[in-house]
């Protein structure tokens, strides 16, 4: 499914366009300025944007109105969206500032493997500190709705581990799922939001979160 087909389906919605709603600041999960530009410009649409179109836009007045205005005649006609409003909103979209780097990176979390699996080597034993936990604690990952879809990038001081498998176990015990990283070490997590314990298949070393920027 591509953006055009999703938009054609959206156009069937009999939902009014509101100029004031379109002017509102983005909330959690809203389309970003960059995503709006992608849609307006055509071309390939990232999965994250497609997901936003199918799951978020139909129930968000702000994003729905923006999509209607930016895509013009392809969307449902609305008496409110006369030419003046249309032009004003188009200018508004054109003036949307570039999203700050931090916000753009929020959906990309870098996990650092400090020791890659390799030829098994004996290691000195250190009977750990306060010992109510396993040797290497799994990393706790708190995923909010606005972070989704969350891309998890695996890296290590030795390089990018390719095709690694991430295991995310829901902290409430409701289940677990496996994510396959691609050749760039990136795996995409689509939810649901919640607290997860994260580990990498076949890797027993520390897995730490690295803040970008």
Partner 1 sequence: MLLPAGILQLQLHVEPMSTRPEVRAIGTALREEWGSRAGIVELLSARTGWVSEFQAFAAILQYVVPGDLPDREARALAGRTRAVYLPSVGALANGALLAGATRAPLRESMEQPALAAQAVLHLTHELAGHGALAENTAMGRSHERAARRKDAVSLACRCLPLAESLAAADDAFGRESERWATFAEGWSRWITHRLRPRLAARLPHLGEQLLSARPSLSQAAQDEQSRALIRRLAACGSSDPQAFAAAWRQAVGPSPDARLIRASGLALFDELEALGGPEACLQAVHDCCSDADGIAPHLLILQRVQERLSRVH
Burial of 75 (0-12, 13-18, 19+ CB in 10 A): buried
Query: Contact at 8 Å (CB) between 152 and 161?
Result: no
Q: Compute the distance between CA of residue 198 and CA of residue 10 in angstroms, rounded to an integer.
A: 36
Could you give the angle at which helices 83-95 and 61-71 cross, rounded to 10 degrees?
100
Task: Find the binding residues for partner 1 in span 55-94 (CB under 8 A).
Answer: none
Is there binding between residue 206 and partner 1 (CB under 8 A)?
yes
Least distance CB 54 / partner 1 (angstroms)? 33
Is there binding between residue 46 and partner 1 (CB under 8 A)?
no
Is there binding between residue 139 and partner 1 (CB under 8 A)?
yes
Is there binding between residue 98 and partner 1 (CB under 8 A)?
no
Least distance CB 113 / partner 1 (angstroms)? 9
Candidate residues 172, 183, 211, 213; the one interacting with partner 1 per rule CB under 8 A = 211
Token pair of 81, please?
A: 């969206």
Candidate residues 74, 158, 182, 201; the one interacting with partner 1 per rule CB under 8 A = 158
The DSSP bridge pattern shows strands 108-113 and 150-155 to be parallel
Is there binding between residue 167 and partner 1 (CB under 8 A)?
no
Q: How many angstroms separate the most distant Cα atoms in the chain?
A: 74
Contacts to partner 1 by CB under 8 A: 112, 114-116, 118, 121-137, 139-140, 157-158, 204-211
């Amino acid at each position: 499914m591509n953006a055009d087909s999703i938009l054609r389906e959206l156009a069937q919605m009999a939902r009014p366009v509101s100029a004031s709603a379109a002017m509102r600041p983005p909330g959690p999960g809203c389309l970003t300025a960059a995503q709006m530009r992608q849609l307006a410009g055509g071309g390939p649409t990232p999965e994250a944007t497609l997901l936003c179109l199918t799951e978020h836009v139909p129930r968000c007045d702000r994003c729905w109105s923006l999509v209607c205005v930016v895509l013009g005649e392809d969307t449902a006609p609305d008496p409110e969206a006369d030419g003046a409003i249309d032009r004003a909103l188009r200018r508004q979209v054109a003036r949307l500032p570039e999203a700050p780097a931090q916000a753009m990176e929020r959906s990309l979390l870098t996990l650092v493997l400090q020791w890659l699996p390799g030829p098994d080597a004996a290691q000195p034993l250190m009977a750990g500190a306060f010992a109510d936990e396993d040797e290497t604690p799994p990393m706790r990952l708190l995923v909010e709705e606005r972070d989704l879809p969350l891309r998890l990038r695996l890296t290590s001081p030795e390089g990018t581990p390719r095709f690694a498998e991430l295991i995310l176990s829901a902290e409430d015990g409701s289940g677990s799922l496996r994510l396959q990283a691609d050749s760039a070490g990136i795996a995409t997590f689509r939810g649901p939001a919640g607290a997860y314990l994260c580990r990498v298949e076949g890797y027993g070393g520390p897995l730490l979160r690295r803040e970008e920027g």
